[in-house]
Each structure stands twice: as C-alpha cells, then as structure tokens.
Amino acid sequence: MRDRFNKEVDKSVQKYTSSVSFDRRLYKQDIAGSIAHARMLAKQGIVSEKDAELITMALTSIREEIERGSLALRDDLEDIHMNIEARLIEKVGDVGRKLHTARSRNDQVALDMRLFAKEAISRTIEKIIELQKALLDLAEANKDVVMPGYTHLQRAQPVLFAHHMLAYFEMLQRDVARFRDCLGRTDVLPLGSGALAGVPYPIDRDFLAKELGFSRISENSMDAVSDRDFVIEYQAAASIAMMHLSRLAEEIVLWSSMEFGFVELDDAYATGSSIMPQKKNPDVAELARAKTGRVYGNLLAILTTIKALPLSYNRDMQEDKEGFFDTVDTLLSTLEVFTGMVATLKVKGEKTRRAAEEGYILATDLADYLVGKGVPFREAHSIVGGLVRYAVEKGKTFKDLSLSEYKSFSPLFEEDVYSVTVASSLAARNVPGGTAPGQVAQQLDRARRIVQGEDG
C-alpha cells in the first residue's frame, strides 16, 4: 500500500495511526465478513469456487490462530483487517490477494462495526432483562413492605417497596425499547459500497445480507461508509441506561447507610475499609455512579468527532472504536454486577415501615379527608398545613393530637380521622399506576409477562 510513496512511513506516524491494539476485537466480525464476501465472489463468478474455498479454509484457520494467541499482530500493518489479509496471503499466496476484490477497507470496517454493534445490542438487552428479573424477584419477595416515598429527599407519602422497584423496572423497559430501536437501524449491510461510490463488479448484496444476518442493505454508498449513527445511538442509549443505574446506585448508597438503614448489602457486593474495621462500603454502587460519567464522555467524544466531517470516509472515524468498546464493556459489566447486587439485597421492612409511620407523612391524606367532607382542596391544604405547624410546635404526631385539637382547625374533623393510616393511604391510591396493593400486584404481573416475552 506504499507504492505511491517514495519514503517509508515514519515510525512515529506508524505508531500514531495504528489501531490494531484495540480493533483486534473485531477479528471475528472481520473474518465472518470476509468469508461471506469470498462466497459471494465465487457465486457471482468473480473468483473461482476453488479459490473461495481455499480462502475460506485459510480464514477459518486464522481465526483459530488468533483465538489461540499464536498469531502475532503487527503494528506496522495498521489494523486487524490488514493483519488478517497479510496472514491470508502468507497462507495461500496470490489467491489471498483476490479477496479484496469488490470491496474497500471503508465498507469492510463499517461492516465489522455493525456486526459488533448488533451483537453488543443483543447482549445488552439480555443483561437489562436479567436485571429486570432481579428487581421483580426483590419486589415480589417484599411485596407487603411499606416505605416512605420521597420528594426533594424529604418523606412525602407512603408507598410499597415493590412500587418503588417497579419504577426502575419501567426505566429499564424504556432502555430495552431504545436498544431494540437502535438494533433496527444498525441492522443494515454496508458491504458492497466500496470506498464511497459502489463497486464495478456484478456483486450480490442481498446474498451478503442473508449470509451475514442483515435484514436489509444500505441505500446510499456514501452514507454507508461514513455513517456512525448506530455507534452514537448505542452510546446515547447506554448513557440513559447508565443514568438509570446511577439513580438506583444513589438510592442503594443512601438506603444502606446507618442514617437510613433500609437495606443491607450482601457481603459479596460490599467492601471494607483499610483502617476502619466496622465499615461496609457500597463500592459497587459508588463506582456505577462514576462510570456513568465515563460513558457520557464517550458519547460526547464520538459526537464531537463526527460533527464536522465532510462526506464520505475520513481517518477521524478510526476514533469511533475505543470509546464504543469501553461503553459496551462498562454497561454490560455494570448490568451484570447490579443484577447480583439486587438479587442478594436484604430489605429491612420493619425499619422502612417505621420511617413511613413517623412524622407527618399522612398530611396529604388528612387534606383528602377534608375534601371528602366537602372542603375545597386548597382550603384543606391550608388547614392541614396549620395543623402540621401546631403539631411540630407541640412536639406531637398526628396520632398524639386529641379530637378537640383537630376540631380547633376544622369542625369537620370527626372520630374517623384516626382511621387515616399508612394502610388507608396506600389503599386509597387504587388507580392504574398507583401504589395500592391491588394495583401493584397487577403491575408485578404485567412486568413478569413482559420479561417472559408475553407482553409489551
């Protein structure tokens, strides 16, 4: 590939431009694409059946060499694609030089990236569903556990713990939908686009698509070799998924603290301190928060790389890989470790119930009680606000207040005000999506059907 030049490439340039240290991960995809390409060339009479068979056997052998670690990959050959081609020529001589007929490294790389992305998306969806199942198991095992729901990190209204877990299930279900959408746009064959303009050979792109498991072929050769939307889209979906995991991580950090004491992490998912023997640190959750920023950074990097590139292929696009690989690895590992952490999480139901019964968490229910007596809600809100202020000043809870004290704020308070409890608060929210036990049971059933592929 240096025939055009009078000098060999400078060693510093060779090192700077080499990508084999990271794109070696594409060896399986590259070999699969090359085998399909060789078969297509033979089918179309562009190379002989004998040559295609020889190439296919050699490529299979090269894949085994790479997996055994017996093939030393060379930086001077720039990338995994040229390393494989060079080894192919070593094995079968000039026959190996025929493989690159009717393709360019541009559509070859685009193909490899799409094959890798399709596999990554499928694995990501599987891992998300595994975490969803763990959340459902935890929710169902604690379906009667009551806890405070929060706004502004202040106790707001009582909810079922299962209801809280189902909120994360819904977040993750949106993630599944995003990755499935991404898969649809990734599932496009670019091979056959050549460097940018197509190829002057009678190739069969539909055959290639079928061989490689693509549902359709690209419609524009320039777009096909320069498109990295699927990489960006995966990273965007991954960023949102990591954001969801980071929110769960933050709650686990809070809930496992002595101040909350709502949950206890399994020893296998916590670490100790180098000097403080009593510590049980939620390092998994903390690292997930930090790794979320790392994934965000990868998304911003690829957006910045692509934003000003003219059509079609530019070497800048070599920078699409490291951040993408890192995001895939980070998301998959985070999903895996979260699944184990959630599956082994111990919920302290007595502690969460006490927290739900303390303070003035039933204030909204008292306002609703007055609404039931015909008071406009805003007026009821004001009455109960004054009642809360009075109780705080007196150091009393709602249960401690006498009926006469209640009546001093509204004559509509009757003995039945003491029937306003955490249980009645939960039962009252018997609307679709609400935290009433019957509604949560239906939500759990629906969620279980979803992860089993029976619904949604």
Give per-residue pLDDT as tens, 149-163: 999 999 999 999 999
User: What residue has token string 């060779």?
Assistant: 14
Q: What is the pTM of this model?
A: 0.95
- Percent helix, strand, coil in the chain, to 5, is 65, 5, 30
Structure tokens at 299: 């998304």
Q: Where are the beta strands (DSSP E) in 111-219?
A: 146-151, 154-160, 188-189, 216-217
| Alpha-carbon torsion (18, 24, 25, 30), positive or negative | positive
Domains annotated on the chain, with CATH: 11-101 (1.10.275.10), 106-201+222-353 (1.20.200.10), 355-451 (1.10.40.30)
Strand partners, 158: 148
Q: Check 152, 274, 402, 404 and give the catalytic one.
A: 152
DSSP state at residue 269: G
Contact between 62 and 24 under an 8 Å Cβ cutoff? The reply is: no
pLDDT band at 326 (very low <50, low <70, confident <90, very high): very high
Of 113, 111, 121, 90, nearest to 35 by C-alpha is 111
Of 159, 162, 158, 160, nearest to 137 by C-alpha is 162
**DSSP string across 90-141:** HHHTHHHHTTTTT--HHHHHHHHHHHHHHHHHHHHHHHHHHHHHHHHHHHHH
Q: Check 48, 122, 257, 273 and give the catalytic one.
A: 273
User: How many Cα atoms sit within 13 Å of 119 on the Cβ side?
Assistant: 12
Give per-residue pLDDT as tens, 178-201: 999 999 999 999 999 999 999 999
pLDDT at residue 360 is higher than 70: yes
Q: Of 9 and 259, which is predicted with more confidence?
A: 259
Chain centre distance of CA 138? 20
End-to-end Cα, the chain, rounded Å: 52
∠ CA 275-280-286, nearest 5°, is 105
Rounded CA-CA distance 256/248 in Å is: 12
Q: What does each C-alpha distance from 188 to 191, 192, 206, 356 come to in angstroms?
A: 9, 12, 11, 52
Rounded CA-CA distance 317/60 in Å is: 28
Is-catalytic flag, 273? yes
pLDDT value for 3? 72
pLDDT at residue 1 is higher than 80: no
pLDDT band at 11 (very low <50, low <70, confident <90, very high): confident
pLDDT at residue 456 is higher than 60: no
pLDDT value for 2? 63
The H or E element spanning position 347 is strand 346-347
